[in-house]
């Protein structure tokens, strides 16, 4: 009898977690850089003004969110920028998210940007790479 009660408790709690997950949207970085497209991973550093610990994915409520990200450069692809004293910096992206969707964020890098673009960091922009 105890085993049956434990089984039902686990089953119901799993269903509750699935129902709660459907109430949220999820933010995450692309899983890896895509060199042919000049697309890089990002690190989500802030959501709606709150600093974030490094996680695989971040739950957010449906609606508009301001997300600050830092481009994660691949040193072997762009050694000059990765080691530059001014680095890529942090940029903000405003998103409208829907419950039950996952938003993969990324950074698009412009390899043909002029040298001045390194000073004002306009050589990259955050964007939504994919929505699942």
- Classify each residue of 40-57 as buried b or exposed e, where b means 16 or more C-beta atoms within 10 Å of its C-beta: bbbebeebeeeebeeeee
**Could you give the CA distance from residue 105 to residue 103 in angstroms, rounded to a whole number?**
6
Distance CA 80, CA 87 (A): 9
Q: What pTM was computed for the model?
A: 0.75
Which of 130, 101, 123 minimizes the C-alpha distance to 38? 123
The answer to whether the CB of 107 falls within 8 A of the CB of 78 is no
Position 16 scores a pLDDT of 43
Residue 105: what pLDDT?
Answer: 98
Residue pair 89/123 in contact (Cβ under 8 Å)? The answer is: no
Alpha helices, DSSP H, located in the chain = 2-22, 79-82, 116-120
Q: Which residues have CB under 8 Å from 71's CB, separation 6+?
A: 40, 41, 42, 88, 91, 107, 109, 124, 126
- Domain extent listing, the chain: 24-131
C-alpha separations of 44 from 106, 115, 117 in Å: 10, 26, 22
| pLDDT at 107 (0 to 100) | 95
Token digits of residue 26: 């999820």
Which pLDDT value is given to residue 119?
Answer: 74
Give 10-residue mean pLDDT values along the chain (132 residues): 46 45 90 88 95 94 97 61 62 96 95 80 92 96
pLDDT at 111: 82
């Amino acid at each position: 009898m105890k085993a049956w009660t434990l089984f039902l408790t686990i089953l119901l709690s799993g269903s509750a977690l699935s129902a709660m997950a459907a109430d949220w949207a999820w933010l995450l970085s692309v899983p890896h850089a895509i060199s042919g497209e000049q697309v890089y991973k990002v690190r989500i550093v802030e959501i709606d003004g709150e600093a974030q610990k490094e996680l695989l994915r971040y739950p957010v409520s449906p609606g508009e969110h301001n997300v600050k990200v830092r481009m994660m450069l691949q040193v072997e692809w762009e050694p000059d920028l990765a080691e530059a004293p001014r680095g890529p910096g942090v940029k903000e992206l405003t998103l409208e998210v829907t419950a039950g969707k996952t938003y993969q964020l990324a950074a698009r890098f412009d390899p043909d940007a002029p040298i001045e673009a390194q000073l004002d960091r306009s050589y990259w922009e955050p964007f939504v790479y994919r929505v699942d």
